Amino acid sequence: MNTKTDTLGDPILSAIFQRRAIKAFEPVQIPVLTRDLLLQSARQAPSSFNTQPYRLYWVESPAQRDAVAKLCLSQNPAQTASALVVAVADLGSLRRTAEMQSAWMRQSGFPASKIREYERTARIGRIIFMPGPLNLFGRLKEALFRTLHILMTIGMPPITRQDMLKWASKSTALACQNLMIAAEAVGLNTCPMEGFDGQRLARYLGLSQKCHEIVMVIAIGKKSPSYMAQPQWRRPIEATVTVL
Ligand SMILES: Cc1cc2nc3c(=O)[nH]c(=O)nc-3n(C[C@H](O)[C@H](O)[C@H](O)COP(=O)(O)O)c2cc1C
């Protein structure tokens, strides 16, 4: 625990301040109910336009876990974890997500006008976001938005597929953080990792180069009793925060 911060006896703040990136785990089985709770917690995170543009691969079977741990460059947290979560930004899910959300709105009795409005916004969103073949549409969009920008205050939409993947990665990272805090709250520990062979791991999971990007892998387990974490360091608050 970071003793400099009073967490006011609040369990959520305690989980946030206790969390460390743990480098060695002891072997424990994560019960299915706990697994589901962690994954549900991840999904509770906010996402851009509520598109939830990610897929989380929970890898627990020993053979697959070993294979993924090797692709995480055999790092100790990966090799000793009870489970590994590969968090993937997923652009391939957008159309289906919109279909599922409008089906849910229909079942939930939303007025027809609201459903039409949602479907229209989702369609326009997809058009505005998509780069199109050879990024031709992306370039056209860029020219249009840059011109409009001279005249008014507007945000730039993603232009390239890389921009799109960056957009999806933000929501993915928030889901990852939720999952890590939830793990802490139920007495487990985690280590987020970006040390992995992205190409081989993507191939292993059958991901597409066009639609997917692995954002991080999270090792989950119970901290080994013999593991001694280094003291935690953070930059001075003035180096991180500007209050205006
Ligand atoms: C995006 C990201 C990637 C990381 N990659 C690795 C990694 O590959 N291996 C590792 O041991 N730790 C990794 N870490 C953990 C950081 O080193 C750790 O969070 C940082 O040193 C601060 O320590 P603390 O989380 O215990 O406060 C990563 C953390 C983040 C957020």
User: Is residue 85 within 8 Å of residue 178, measured between CB atoms?
Assistant: no
Distances (CA, A) of 139 to 53, 94, 123, 142, 152: 23, 21, 20, 5, 20
Q: Is the CB of 94 under 6 A from ligand 1?
A: no
Report the number of secondary-structure helices (H) and strands (E) in the chain.
10, 5
Cα 192 to middle of ligand 1, angstroms: 6
> Checking DSSP bridges between strand 83-90 and strand 25-26, what pairing results, if any?
unpaired
pLDDT digits (tens, 9 = 90+) for 208-243: 999 999 999 999 999 999 999 999 999 999 999 999
Distances (CA, A) of 146 to 43, 68, 151: 35, 43, 9
Q: Per-residue pLDDT for 1 more than 70?
A: no
d(CA 160, CA 137): 9
Q: Give the model's pLDDT for residue 133.
A: 76
Q: Per-residue pLDDT for 188 more than 70?
A: yes
The residue among 183, 175, 171 whose CA lies nearest residue 219 is 183
Q: Is the CB of 192 under 6 A from ligand 1?
A: yes
Q: Is the CB of 198 under 6 A from ligand 1?
A: no
Cα 148 to middle of ligand 1, angstroms: 41
DSSP code of residue 196: S
Q: Per-residue pLDDT for 77 more than 50?
A: yes
pLDDT digits (tens, 9 = 90+) for 137-183: 888 888 998 999 999 999 888 888 899 999 999 999 999 999 999 99
Cα 218 to middle of ligand 1, angstroms: 10
pLDDT digits (tens, 9 = 90+) for 23-75: 999 999 999 999 999 999 999 999 999 999 999 999 999 999 999 999 999 99
From 17, 194, 220, give the residue whose CB has the most ligand 1 atoms within 8 Å, as the site to mutate: 194
pLDDT confidence bin for 11, thresholds 50/70/90? very high
Q: Per-residue pLDDT for 3 more than 50?
A: no
pLDDT confidence bin for 2, thresholds 50/70/90? very low
Q: Per-residue pLDDT for 20 more than 60?
A: yes
Distances (CA, A) of 122 to 93, 95, 114: 13, 8, 12
